[in-house]
Chain A
């Protein structure tokens, strides 16, 4: 668990530097123990920064989503650095963005947070209804300790952990300038057992499963908006020429949308699970992304977001690639 006082002290130091313009971190939400992103521009604001197991969001998205309006004539762009707090999974988003040349490494000051897992808010709410709006949560060893209504509840971590944390391969940030805590040993393995069951079914069963999921989609595009890897300025979903898929909400267009979204993350998705977390109709989007993740690992021995020296998967090839299905 990160020492909050140390976190603020480091943040104060970083934001006071002359070459840093913004620090992106977490602060408590309006009520309860939910956390929300904090955009710190001056040293006075660091007092609100926290890191708790409720800091679920991936702040890497904000680095690429920041709007860059045209400057008035003669004005110099603000090229100072941006500091960002990242967990292990979020750090892979940074790496993958740098692989894709979204920005340079020295554009960033990375505050790494070795993370032993965040909670799944839906699980917390299901177990303790109402607790989200009042209370606090901390991690103690293998337990989460929730305090609410003057009571304290100790819950084994595994019961509340988010799914992505249960199979987290890289709990310690892979890229960082300042590490805020001691490294965390890898505590989970990923064997893709969650998608293996569906993979083993017949095509009819698979389609029945997905048709039900896709038909729920309301095309709010939250999954795209929250995704740290979905940062094209000209997204095919918004493009009017050509119209890749119609705006109407029906099973055909919804499927087309989900195929395109998932395919555009093939070999790029870093498994932060944000898409599935924000989905208002609970479509298991990670099951789509993980299929690609699994295939890419199996076929090309490639895992996105590990090294800034890597080449994007689909802009490279090997002569030895498998081609057993080709006639």
Chain B
């Protein structure tokens, strides 16, 4: 792989999208032919409440430069309250990772509803920009072992 410099750096961003809002929102962005950065790798989950905060840690460990968790707006959760639980979990996780020395720009969360294709684009642009600004993740990324 080519060496990543600050200028050519294209971040890897893992996005956990809830099935009912954000995934449909991203889908809408696609069908409406809205262009947004292709750095996000989407993982569809049924609800943001499904996303274990340790997923963030594992993603950062396994080569993601940033993680985005996106779900329904508060009050609109398909399962009534999943996103409220997620909000607490990720607030704590994000602050904790910052305390350990992981830039907070790497761990983001957003509310994107099924009708907000254009908001999805803005969110992705902002996240990608934020991660580009802090550069490749190298704190506790898993190194390739050469036995």
Binding site for B on A (CB under 8 A): 195, 198-199, 203-211, 236, 244-245, 250-253, 255-256, 259-260, 262-263, 266-267, 288, 291-292, 295-296, 299-300, 313-315, 317-319, 321-323, 325-327
Residues of B within 8 A of A203 (CB): 98, 101-103
B81 partner residues in chain A, CB cutoff 8 A: 317
Given A300-B88, A317-B85, A321-B84, residue A262 in contact with residue B141 (CB < 8 A): no
CA distance A267 to B75 in the complex (A): 24
* B84 and A263 contact, CB distance less than 8 A: no
- Most chain A CB atoms below 10 A, which of B81, B87, B88, B139: B88
Number of B residues near A (Cβ < 8 Å) is 40
Identity of the chain A residue whose Cβ is nearest the Cβ of B81 in the assembled complex: A317
Q: Does B89 contact A (CB under 8 A)?
A: yes
Question: Is there a chain A Cβ closer than 8 Å to B111's Cβ?
Answer: yes
Chain A residues with Cβ under 8 A from B89's Cβ?
314
A-B contact pairs, 16 of them (CB 8 A): A207-B102, A211-B101, A211-B139, A244-B54, A252-B141, A255-B140, A266-B96, A291-B95, A291-B99, A319-B74, A322-B91, A325-B109, A326-B87, A326-B111, A327-B122, A327-B127
B100 within 8 A of A: yes
Q: Does B108 contact A (CB under 8 A)?
A: yes
CA distance A325 to B108 in the complex (A): 8
How near does chain A come to B55, taking the closest CB pair, in angstroms? 10
Beyond the given A296-B92, A326-B87, could you list 13 further A-B residue pairs with CB under 8 A, ordered by the A residue number?
A: A211-B139, A244-B58, A245-B61, A252-B140, A252-B141, A292-B92, A295-B95, A315-B85, A317-B84, A323-B87, A326-B109, A326-B110, A327-B127
**Residues 99 to 143 of chain B near chain A (Cβ within 8 Å):** 99-104, 108-111, 122-123, 126-127, 139-143
Number of residue pairs A-B, CB distance < 8 angstroms: 112
- By a beta-carbon cutoff of 8 Å, the part of chain B in contact with chain A is 53-54, 57-58, 61, 74-75, 81, 84-85, 87-89, 91-104, 108-111, 122-123, 126-127, 139-143
B99 close to A252 (CB less than 8 A): no
CB neighbours of B142 from chain A (8 A): 252-253
Residue in B closest to A254 when the chains form the complex, CB atoms: B140
